[in-house]
Amino acid sequence: MLELAVLGLLHESPLHGYELRQRLKATLGSFRAFSYGSLYPTLRRMKESGWIAEDEGDAEVVAGAPALTGKRGKVVYKLTAEGKERFTELLAEAGPASWEDEQFGVHFAFFAKTAPEVRVRILEGRRARLEERREGVRTSLARTRERLDSYTLQLQEHGLESVDREVRWLSELIETERNSIRSNPSTNPL
Protein backbone atom coordinates (compact mmCIF):
# COMPACT_ATOMS: atom_id res chain seq x y z
CA MET A 1 0.00 0.00 0.00
CA LEU A 2 2.53 2.52 1.16
CA GLU A 3 4.88 0.81 -1.23
CA LEU A 4 2.66 1.42 -4.24
CA ALA A 5 2.21 5.05 -3.24
CA VAL A 6 5.94 5.56 -2.88
CA LEU A 7 6.64 3.93 -6.23
CA GLY A 8 4.01 6.14 -7.80
CA LEU A 9 5.39 9.35 -6.39
CA LEU A 10 9.00 8.55 -7.16
CA HIS A 11 7.89 7.68 -10.67
CA GLU A 12 7.34 11.39 -11.19
CA SER A 13 10.52 12.67 -9.58
CA PRO A 14 13.15 11.77 -6.97
CA LEU A 15 12.20 12.80 -3.46
CA HIS A 16 13.43 12.44 0.09
CA GLY A 17 11.43 10.92 2.91
CA TYR A 18 10.07 14.07 4.45
CA GLU A 19 9.00 15.49 1.11
CA LEU A 20 7.50 12.14 0.20
CA ARG A 21 5.20 12.34 3.16
CA GLN A 22 3.96 15.82 2.23
CA ARG A 23 3.26 14.60 -1.28
CA LEU A 24 1.52 11.56 0.10
CA LYS A 25 -0.84 13.82 2.01
CA ALA A 26 -1.37 16.07 -1.00
CA THR A 27 -2.02 13.15 -3.32
CA LEU A 28 -4.22 10.97 -1.15
CA GLY A 29 -5.99 13.86 0.50
CA SER A 30 -8.52 12.78 3.07
CA PHE A 31 -8.28 9.12 2.14
CA ARG A 32 -5.16 8.06 3.92
CA ALA A 33 -2.26 9.42 5.93
CA PHE A 34 1.00 7.76 6.79
CA SER A 35 3.38 8.45 9.62
CA TYR A 36 7.16 8.65 9.39
CA GLY A 37 7.28 5.60 11.57
CA SER A 38 5.99 3.54 8.69
CA LEU A 39 7.47 5.56 5.86
CA TYR A 40 11.14 5.28 6.75
CA PRO A 41 11.18 1.54 7.41
CA THR A 42 9.29 1.06 4.15
CA LEU A 43 11.89 3.13 2.34
CA ARG A 44 14.64 0.97 3.82
CA ARG A 45 12.90 -2.24 2.79
CA MET A 46 12.28 -0.95 -0.71
CA LYS A 47 15.91 0.01 -1.02
CA GLU A 48 16.93 -3.48 0.10
CA SER A 49 14.57 -4.94 -2.46
CA GLY A 50 16.27 -2.84 -5.10
CA TRP A 51 13.22 -0.87 -6.18
CA ILE A 52 14.58 2.46 -5.11
CA ALA A 53 18.10 3.82 -4.71
CA GLU A 54 19.73 6.86 -3.22
CA ASP A 55 19.97 9.60 -5.77
CA GLU A 56 23.47 11.07 -5.63
CA GLY A 57 22.98 13.17 -8.71
CA ASP A 58 21.54 16.25 -7.06
CA ALA A 59 23.03 19.60 -6.04
CA GLU A 60 23.47 18.63 -2.39
CA VAL A 61 27.23 18.04 -2.58
CA VAL A 62 28.46 21.60 -3.05
CA ALA A 63 31.26 22.04 -0.52
CA GLY A 64 33.97 19.48 0.14
CA ALA A 65 33.78 19.75 3.92
CA PRO A 66 30.26 18.33 4.66
CA ALA A 67 31.17 14.97 3.16
CA LEU A 68 34.13 14.62 5.51
CA THR A 69 32.26 15.61 8.64
CA GLY A 70 29.96 12.69 8.01
CA LYS A 71 26.88 14.80 8.59
CA ARG A 72 23.54 13.28 7.84
CA GLY A 73 21.87 15.21 5.05
CA LYS A 74 18.72 14.61 3.05
CA VAL A 75 18.47 11.18 1.55
CA VAL A 76 16.95 11.54 -1.88
CA TYR A 77 15.49 8.40 -3.39
CA LYS A 78 14.81 7.62 -7.02
CA LEU A 79 13.18 4.69 -8.78
CA THR A 80 15.42 2.00 -10.20
CA ALA A 81 14.60 0.09 -13.38
CA GLU A 82 13.29 -2.76 -11.22
CA GLY A 83 11.23 -0.26 -9.31
CA LYS A 84 9.61 0.98 -12.49
CA GLU A 85 8.81 -2.59 -13.46
CA ARG A 86 7.39 -3.30 -10.04
CA PHE A 87 5.21 -0.20 -10.26
CA THR A 88 3.78 -1.19 -13.64
CA GLU A 89 3.24 -4.69 -12.34
CA LEU A 90 1.37 -3.47 -9.27
CA LEU A 91 -0.74 -1.10 -11.34
CA ALA A 92 -1.69 -3.86 -13.73
CA GLU A 93 -2.95 -6.34 -11.15
CA ALA A 94 -6.54 -5.35 -10.61
CA GLY A 95 -7.39 -7.98 -8.01
CA PRO A 96 -10.12 -7.92 -5.36
CA ALA A 97 -7.70 -6.15 -3.04
CA SER A 98 -7.73 -3.09 -5.29
CA TRP A 99 -11.37 -2.41 -4.57
CA GLU A 100 -11.20 -2.52 -0.83
CA ASP A 101 -11.39 0.76 1.05
CA GLU A 102 -7.74 1.06 1.94
CA GLN A 103 -6.29 0.15 -1.45
CA PHE A 104 -8.77 1.74 -3.80
CA GLY A 105 -7.78 5.33 -3.10
CA VAL A 106 -4.12 4.64 -3.74
CA HIS A 107 -4.85 2.79 -6.96
CA PHE A 108 -7.15 5.55 -8.13
CA ALA A 109 -4.55 8.20 -7.36
CA PHE A 110 -2.34 6.67 -10.04
CA PHE A 111 -5.02 6.08 -12.64
CA ALA A 112 -3.32 8.51 -15.00
CA LYS A 113 -0.53 5.93 -15.25
CA THR A 114 -2.88 2.94 -15.40
CA ALA A 115 -4.13 1.18 -18.54
CA PRO A 116 -7.74 2.13 -19.48
CA GLU A 117 -9.07 -1.45 -19.25
CA VAL A 118 -7.52 -1.86 -15.84
CA ARG A 119 -9.09 1.40 -14.73
CA VAL A 120 -12.54 0.21 -15.77
CA ARG A 121 -12.05 -3.15 -14.08
CA ILE A 122 -11.06 -1.54 -10.82
CA LEU A 123 -13.92 0.96 -10.92
CA GLU A 124 -16.41 -1.81 -11.65
CA GLY A 125 -14.95 -4.06 -8.99
CA ARG A 126 -15.15 -1.28 -6.46
CA ARG A 127 -18.72 -0.49 -7.43
CA ALA A 128 -19.76 -4.13 -7.20
CA ARG A 129 -18.12 -4.37 -3.79
CA LEU A 130 -20.00 -1.32 -2.55
CA GLU A 131 -23.30 -2.49 -3.97
CA GLU A 132 -22.81 -5.80 -2.21
CA ARG A 133 -22.12 -4.04 1.05
CA ARG A 134 -25.09 -1.76 0.53
CA GLU A 135 -27.42 -4.69 -0.02
CA GLY A 136 -26.11 -6.35 3.10
CA VAL A 137 -26.83 -3.27 5.17
CA ARG A 138 -30.21 -2.70 3.50
CA THR A 139 -31.55 -6.16 4.18
CA SER A 140 -30.20 -6.25 7.70
CA LEU A 141 -31.76 -2.85 8.22
CA ALA A 142 -35.09 -4.07 6.88
CA ARG A 143 -35.04 -6.98 9.32
CA THR A 144 -33.95 -5.06 12.40
CA ARG A 145 -35.12 -1.49 11.85
CA GLU A 146 -37.63 -1.44 14.72
CA ARG A 147 -35.21 -3.06 17.16
CA LEU A 148 -32.56 -0.35 16.64
CA ASP A 149 -32.43 2.87 18.59
CA SER A 150 -32.58 6.12 16.63
CA TYR A 151 -28.85 6.83 16.83
CA THR A 152 -27.90 3.48 15.41
CA LEU A 153 -30.50 4.04 12.74
CA GLN A 154 -29.04 7.45 11.92
CA LEU A 155 -25.63 5.87 11.63
CA GLN A 156 -26.90 3.17 9.29
CA GLU A 157 -28.69 5.62 7.11
CA HIS A 158 -25.86 8.05 6.88
CA GLY A 159 -23.59 5.17 5.96
CA LEU A 160 -26.02 3.97 3.35
CA GLU A 161 -26.19 7.42 1.78
CA SER A 162 -22.41 7.65 1.70
CA VAL A 163 -22.19 4.34 -0.09
CA ASP A 164 -24.90 5.44 -2.51
CA ARG A 165 -23.00 8.59 -3.26
CA GLU A 166 -19.82 6.73 -4.01
CA VAL A 167 -21.67 4.28 -6.23
CA ARG A 168 -23.07 7.16 -8.28
CA TRP A 169 -19.64 8.73 -8.51
CA LEU A 170 -18.14 5.46 -9.72
CA SER A 171 -20.92 4.99 -12.25
CA GLU A 172 -20.19 8.36 -13.78
CA LEU A 173 -16.49 7.59 -13.96
CA ILE A 174 -17.15 4.20 -15.55
CA GLU A 175 -19.40 5.81 -18.13
CA THR A 176 -16.73 8.35 -18.99
CA GLU A 177 -14.07 5.66 -19.23
CA ARG A 178 -16.19 3.46 -21.47
CA ASN A 179 -16.97 6.25 -23.88
CA SER A 180 -13.33 7.17 -24.00
CA ILE A 181 -12.20 3.61 -24.70
CA ARG A 182 -14.73 3.33 -27.52
CA SER A 183 -13.77 6.56 -29.21
CA ASN A 184 -10.10 6.83 -28.40
CA PRO A 185 -8.45 3.78 -26.82
CA SER A 186 -5.48 4.12 -24.44
CA THR A 187 -5.87 7.76 -23.52
CA ASN A 188 -7.17 9.45 -20.39
CA PRO A 189 -10.70 10.81 -20.56
CA LEU A 190 -10.28 13.15 -17.62
CB distance 5 to 46 below 8 Å: no
Query: In whole angstroms, how far apart are CA 125 and each of 59, 72, 118?
Result: 45, 45, 10
16 binds, among DNA, a second copy, none (CB under 5 to 8 A by kind): DNA
Among 11, 27, 28, 34, binds DNA (CB under 7 A): 34
Helix axes 81-92, 2-12, angle to 10 degrees: 120
Question: Which residues, numbered 54-73, are part of the site for DNA (CB under 7 A)?
Answer: 66, 71-73
Residue 16's H or E segment, with its range, is strand 15-16
Using CB under 8 A as the binding rule, the residues of this chain from 143 to 172 that contact a second copy are 144, 148-156, 158-163, 165-166, 169
User: What phi and psi values does residue 16 have, to the nearest 5 degrees?
Assistant: -100, 165
Site for a second copy in 54-113 (CB under 8 A): 105, 108-112
Q: Which of 154, 128, 126, 127 is nearest to 141 (CA)?
A: 154
Q: Where are the beta strands (DSSP E) in 30-177?
A: 52-54, 76-79
Binding partner of residue 128 among DNA, a second copy, none, CB cut-off 5 to 8 Å per kind: none
| Closest distance of CB 40 from DNA, Å | 4
**Choice between 65 and 190, CB closer to DNA:** 65
Give, as ranges, the residues between 74 and 133 that touch DNA (CB under 7 A): 74-76, 102
Least separation, in Å, of the C-beta of 112 and a second copy?
Answer: 4
Question: Judged by CB under 7 A, does residue 31 bind DNA?
Answer: no
140 contacts a second copy (rule: CB under 8 A): yes
Taking alpha carbons only, the member of 189, 161, 163 closest to residue 176 is 189
